[in-house]
A and B are shown apart, each in its own frame.
Chain A
Amino acid sequence: MTGAMRIDAASHPRRGFHVRRRRVGDRVFLLFGTAIHPLDGLALAVWDLCDGRTAVGEIVLRCAALNPALDVAAVAQRVVEVLSGFEAHGLTWRDFTGAGAPPAPAPAWGAVLQLFHEHADRDWREGVPQEEQARIVARFVRILYEFDASARGHALEPADEQAFRERMLACARERPADFAAAVRDLCALRYWKYRRDEYKIVIVTERSVYSGDLDHRR
């Protein structure tokens, strides 16, 4: 899988749901239809990190940490080659409906953020660039997940977080009237606010006040 093309370091590659990752003995392959693509250790690490949330730059850093014998520039070059190969072979995210984009996050979260905003009568999105709005929603949901996992005694874990998100979205879809109450009950939520000047999100519950950077990896 070679042949590098231009890859944006800030992009978040996402593996295609239509691709199977299978192990046979010590070897791992990607399968799509009748095509079989063997993966070496680095390509496997890249594939596993193509979750749609991890930026290429971070993929490089994580792969470099796994390959301390290589310098970062060499790892970066290999990562770009591997990602280019995924792209060229149609292994990254594909929209089969022809609508053009991956499914957007459910609008339910935006509405809930409005409902629990410190100033519920003022649009929380006002003056906030769209990309920053998306980060606020993502961080808000992540914090709720942390409350939920803590209440259930679960360790923070990607699969658990995914299950939480799906459970909440299923609730929003099927019982929209209960969704706000379900969110509130996760942590006895009172209200939240965004301190744009400090790039912080603050969540006030009946029992505690959470304050944290919008992007905890910043």
Chain B
Amino acid sequence: MGAETGAQPGWPEIEAETGLGADALRAGLEGRPHLAAWVAGSLVEGLGTPNSDVDVFVLVPGHEGGATRVNDDYRVDVRFAAARRVDYELWSLDTVDAMAAKFAALPLEDPESNVCDALSEHEVLFMTRLHLSLPLAPRETAEETVRALRSRFDRDRLVAYLVENRRHYVDDAFDDAVGFCLAGDFASAALRARDTAEFAVDLLLHDRGLLNVRHKYRRAIFDRARASWPDLGPAYERYWALSSGIPATAAGQQDFVARSLDFVERIVTHVQDRRAAS
């Protein structure tokens, strides 16, 4: 499972693009105890550029051995091969078990609870990339091992979380934009309205089941989504029309805010009505 929409690169395409095949990437695991490994990131999702690094996620029994960078949740061992940077992201079994338990306990769609940012950015990235990955190791059982791991982070539940989380972002940014209008600061209102529109597009794409909606891939991801769901065409065109510039005058900025927030409201209403109907 690689790209969410459009062409899905496999090992032959990855090797042709990077000069690195599965065996070359497994070689980087030698000498490091591991339970599973999978390759993820822009190259696997068909979003890569000649500068993209290769991300290999590795489930390790514990944190023995050195690493280039140490984060709260995981360590990164940076290598270089075939003129590419290869990041081996090392996640311990304890960390992943705790993350799975936390994920299972999220109070989704509970009006009494707020799940905004209940998962860290790293945790979301881990889960997203687990689902959008090519299994790598163990060599003989990589598919089953990664499939079992994915089942601990149910994809539909992850989408539900991402939708709910983004809706909170939309609402916060919406209120900020209106607050700036009330304060008479229309330039800040317009900037925040633009953020609101971006979050609304994230929401729209998550609602269609897409896990990766990162802004740096907006053009490619939204293009593909529109090709898969033609009913997104109007939102796509309106988004680009809105992205084309903020006027210089207060009246123009207020108009920009109004158009942006109208765009946002149409998306939120569409998503909420669609989810209520299902």
Q: Which residues of A contact B272 (CB under 8 A)?
A: 22-23
Contact with B along A76-118 (1 / 0, CB 8 A): 0000000000000000000111010001000000000000000
Contact with A along B227-249 (1 / 0, CB 8 A): 00000011101101110110100
For the complex formed, measure the closest distance between the CB of B4 and the CB atoms of chain A, giving whole angstroms: 24
Residue contact A154 to B234, C-beta cutoff 8 Å? yes
Instruction: State in angstroms the CA–CA spacing of A169 and B272 once bound together.
Output: 30
Contact with A along B113-144 (1 / 0, CB 8 A): 00000000000000000000000000000000
Instruction: State in angstroms the CA–CA spacing of A129 and B186 once bound together.
Output: 34
B181 at interface (Cβ–Cβ under 8 A)?
yes
Chain A residue with Cβ nearest B254: A97
Instruction: State in angstroms the CA–CA spacing of A162 and B238 once bound together.
Output: 7
Residue contact A163 to B241, C-beta cutoff 8 Å? yes
Residue contact A96 to B234, C-beta cutoff 8 Å? no
A198 at interface (Cβ–Cβ under 8 A)?
no
Residue contact B254 to A21, C-beta cutoff 8 Å? no
Instruction: State in angstroms the CA–CA spacing of A173 and B247 once bound together.
Output: 9
A157-B247 contact given A17-B257, A26-B276, A166-B241, CB 8 Å threshold: no
B151 at interface (Cβ–Cβ under 8 A)?
no
Instruction: State in angstroms the CA–CA spacing of A174 and B276 once bound together.
Output: 40
Q: Which residues of A contact B238 (CB under 8 A)?
A: 159, 162-163, 166-167
Residue contact A21 to B265, C-beta cutoff 8 Å? yes
Residue contact B241 to A95, C-beta cutoff 8 Å? no
Q: Which residues of A contact B276 (CB under 8 A)?
A: 23, 25-26
Chain B residue with Cβ nearest A164: B237
Residue contact A96 to B111, C-beta cutoff 8 Å? no
B273 at interface (Cβ–Cβ under 8 A)?
yes
Residue contact A170 to B182, C-beta cutoff 8 Å? no
Q: Which residues of A contact B273 (CB under 8 A)?
A: 23
Residue contact A20 to B234, C-beta cutoff 8 Å? no
B251 at interface (Cβ–Cβ under 8 A)?
yes
B269 at interface (Cβ–Cβ under 8 A)?
yes
Residue contact A166 to B259, C-beta cutoff 8 Å? yes
**Interface size, chain B (Cβ < 8 Å):** 37
Contact with B along A15-52 (1 / 0, CB 8 A): 00110111111100000110000000000000000000
Contact with B along A155-185 (1 / 0, CB 8 A): 0010110111011011001100000000000
For the complex formed, measure the closest distance between the CB of B159 and the CB atoms of chain A, giving whole angstroms: 18
**Interface size, chain A (Cβ < 8 Å):** 30
Chain B residue with Cβ nearest A18: B178
A95-B244 contact given A21-B265, A167-B237, CB 8 Å threshold: no
For the complex formed, measure the closest distance between the CB of A95 and the CB atoms of chain B, giving whole angstroms: 7
Count chain B CB atoms within 10 A of each CB in A24, A95, A160, A166 and give the residue with the most: A166
Residue contact B241 to A20, C-beta cutoff 8 Å? no
Residue contact B261 to A97, C-beta cutoff 8 Å? no
A25-B257 contact given A154-B234, A159-B234, CB 8 Å threshold: no
Within B262-277, the residues touching A (CB, 8 Å) are: 262, 265-266, 268-269, 272-273, 276
Q: Which residues of A contact B265 (CB under 8 A)?
A: 20-21
For the complex formed, measure the closest distance between the CB of A189 and the CB atoms of chain B, giving whole angstroms: 21
Q: Which residues of A contact B252 (CB under 8 A)?
A: 103
Residue contact B181 to A159, C-beta cutoff 8 Å? no
Q: Which residues of B contact A99 (CB under 8 A)?
A: 250-251
Chain A residue with Cβ nearest B183: A96
Residue contact A96 to B261, C-beta cutoff 8 Å? no
B12 at interface (Cβ–Cβ under 8 A)?
no
Chain B residue with Cβ nearest A95: B254
Residue contact A21 to B269, C-beta cutoff 8 Å? yes
Residue contact A160 to B234, C-beta cutoff 8 Å? yes
Instruction: State in angstroms the CA–CA spacing of A173 and B182 once bound together.
Output: 26
B57 at interface (Cβ–Cβ under 8 A)?
no
Contact with A along B170-197 (1 / 0, CB 8 A): 0100110010011010100000000000
16 contacts between A and B (CB under 8 A): A17-B257, A20-B171, A20-B268, A21-B269, A22-B171, A23-B273, A23-B276, A33-B178, A103-B254, A154-B234, A157-B234, A166-B238, A166-B241, A167-B238, A170-B244, A173-B245
- Which of B's residues lie within 8 Å of A, judged by CB? 111, 171, 174-175, 178, 181-182, 184, 186, 233-235, 237-238, 240-242, 244-245, 247, 250-252, 254-255, 257-259, 261-262, 265-266, 268-269, 272-273, 276
